[in-house]
Structures are given as structure tokens and as C-alpha cells.
Amino acid sequence: MTSAQIIDGKAIAQRKQAEMAEVVANLSLQIDRPPGLAVLMVGDNPASAAYVRNKERACQKLGIASLGQHFAAEVGQAELEQVIDRLNQDDRVDGILVQLPLPEHLDATALLNRIAPNKDADGLHPFNLGKLVRGEEGLRSCTPAGVMALLHEYNLDPAGKTAVVIGRSILVGKPIAMMLLEANATVVMAHSRTKDLKSVVQNADILVAAVGKPNLITAELIKPDAIVIDVGINRITDATGKSRLVGDVDFAAVSEVAGHITPVPGGVGPMTVTMLLHNTIWSYCRKHGISYS
């Protein structure tokens, strides 16, 4: 029996995307083109291919032009840099995203840094991360921004709460810590070198798990009525040979203790795509001097 309230990211994402579709439809009447998003995918990673398909379908549903390209796994760094340079100059393109992970011979950081900051749909350019650190308006990393949107939708104000973030990646851990700090939480970061994870996590009013280890977070670690945000996505195979997605949190057990919890799938994931679309529309509006938040 689940006692925690489920934070339904899928339902919120659907509602927000419906609202964005209306915005795009109205703006497309004023401006002679729709917003444009270019997703660059390299190779045939099945998970990446599924993510890209989801993004392309979402673009189609919202009326956003999908201008992405798919490259063979052997593509060179120079070719990709030239493609990004062209997209930076293309007036039809408002957002550019390089689908990660990339093959090992490619320098992902150099490619991400080559994207024009005003077209950085994933919010990972140093310029935009710097804006986040300074608390200035700008494009925000999609998954952390999605987490903050979920907290807002459920009226879960981080102000004054102790927030523990497990994981310190530039994709999720570091930017979500900055966003929670900006929202006046007291933020503690835990990671692989944290000596006593249990004592750190047990103080969390808000726990964000972003590590990539199935069932790392067990019920005994959770403070009663804590808000548990599970960013982890792990594919496991059960005894019957069937595979399924699970998070970093032991959902069934933790649900008995927590006050609110995100499921996997259906929690943070749908909001990541939603914030990508939001960023694309934001850049589109900014280019045309239109306010959009």
C-alpha cells in the first residue's frame, strides 16, 4: 500500500505541452515560421534513438519544426563542428541539442561549447550555466528545470528545507543543486566519496537521487514525509529475462515512508522533454522580442 503522494510527471508534461501547443499556434500566426529544434544524433544507441524519437514526436505535436540530423557512428569531430556552425547561423533554428552519450572518439564538451548560447536547448553551455550560478535569466538545464517545475506544480516550496542531492554531474547534480539554492533551500551534495551516506540522506526534507544505480536509496534512508525525486533511469533484467526501467530509489519500500515521490518511468523523464521544448520556444520568443516564461 503506497502512502506517499505520487508526483505524476507524465500528466503534468501532457498539460504543459498542450499549453505550449496553443502558444506556438498563436505565435506562428504572428511570425512567418514556427520554432525550430535541431537534435543531432550520432550512431545507433537504442536508448538514444528512443529519446530522439520521443523528442521528434513531441515537436510534431506542438507544431515545432524538427530540423535534426542523424550521423553514422564514425562521423568526425570536424564534420559535426561544421554542422553546428551552420545551425548557429540558420534563422529557422532556435534550439540545438547534441544527443548524449557520443562515441568515445568525439569530444562532447567541445561540441556542446560550440553551440551558440542563445540556441543551447539543453542549457549546458558554460555561458548558460554561468547565468544559473549568478541567478540571472537564461536557458536552464532540462532535467533539473523539470524537477523544479514538478515541485512548483505540487506546491512543494524548497525554501527553508534541507535538500540533499546525490550525484554531482554537470547534467543534473550540479545544476539542480544551484536551482534548489536559488529557491532558498539548504543544499547538501553527496556523491561516491561521501563517507556516511545514510546520515546525510536521513536529514533530507527533499532528496534528489541522480546516480544511475538501481535501488540505491532504500526506505531506511528516508526521513518520514520527505519529498523524493528519482532522476535515475536504469534498465534491469528480472529472473524471467524480462527487462524493465527502474530508478535509483526502491520505489515500493520508499513510498511507505516518503510524503511525495516520483515514479520511474513517468516522473522526471517526461518533464525533461517538456523543458527542452520550453527552452526552444523561449529562445524563439526572445529572438522576436516576445515575453515568454
- Asked if 16 and 270 touch (Cβ cutoff 8 Å), the reply is no
Question: Which cell numbers hold the place of 146?
Answer: 523539470
Q: Please identify every residue annotated as catalytic.
A: 55, 99, 122
| Stretch 18-30: mean pLDDT | 94
Say whether pLDDT at 250 is over 60. Answer: yes
pLDDT confidence band for 2 (50 / 70 / 90): low
- For residues 122-145, give the mean pLDDT: 96
- For cell 524493465, the residue is 244
Pick the closest to residue 142 from 288, 285, 37, 72 (CA basis). Answer: 37
> Mean pLDDT, to the nearest integer, of 110-118?
97
In the chain, where are the structural domains located?
Answer: 34-116, 142-269
Pairing of strands 260-261, 36-42: unpaired
Q: Across residues 22-44, what is the average pLDDT?
A: 94
Distances (CA, A) of 130 to 77, 137, 187, 286: 26, 10, 18, 19
**In the predicted model, what is the mean pLDDT of residues 223-242?**
91
* Rounded Cα gap, residues 224 and 222, in angstroms: 6
Tell me how crowded residue 51 is: count the other CB atoms within 10 A of its CB.
Answer: 18
Closest by alpha carbon to 34, among 69, 68, 59? 59
Please give the angle made by the CA atoms of 174, 211 and 208, to the nearest 5 degrees: 60
| pLDDT tens string 196-217 | 999 999 999 999 999 999 999 9
CATH code assigned to 34-116 = 3.40.50.10860
pTM: 0.95
Q: Is pLDDT at 176 greater than 80 in this prediction?
A: yes
pLDDT exceeds 70 at position 268? yes
pLDDT band at 293 (very low <50, low <70, confident <90, very high): confident
pLDDT in tens, 181-193: 999 999 999 998 9
Specify the CATH superfamily of domain 142-269.
NAD(P)-binding Rossmann-like Domain (3.40.50.720)
**Does residue 50 have a pLDDT over 90?**
no
Residues 271, 13 contacting (CB under 8 angstroms): yes
Per-residue pLDDT, 105: 97
The grid coordinates listed for 27 are 505565435
Q: Is the pLDDT assigned to residue 1 strictly greater than 60?
A: no
Cβ-count burial of 151 within 10 angstroms (0-12 exposed, 13-18 middle, 19+ buried)?
Answer: buried
Average pLDDT over residues 144-148: 98
Secondary element (H or E) of residue 179: helix 173-182
- pLDDT bin (cut points 50, 70, 90) of residue 45 is confident
Give the strands of the sheet with 227-230, arranged side by side: 5-6, 260-261, 227-230, 206-209, 162-166, 186-190
Per CATH, 34-116 and 142-269 having the same topology is answered yes
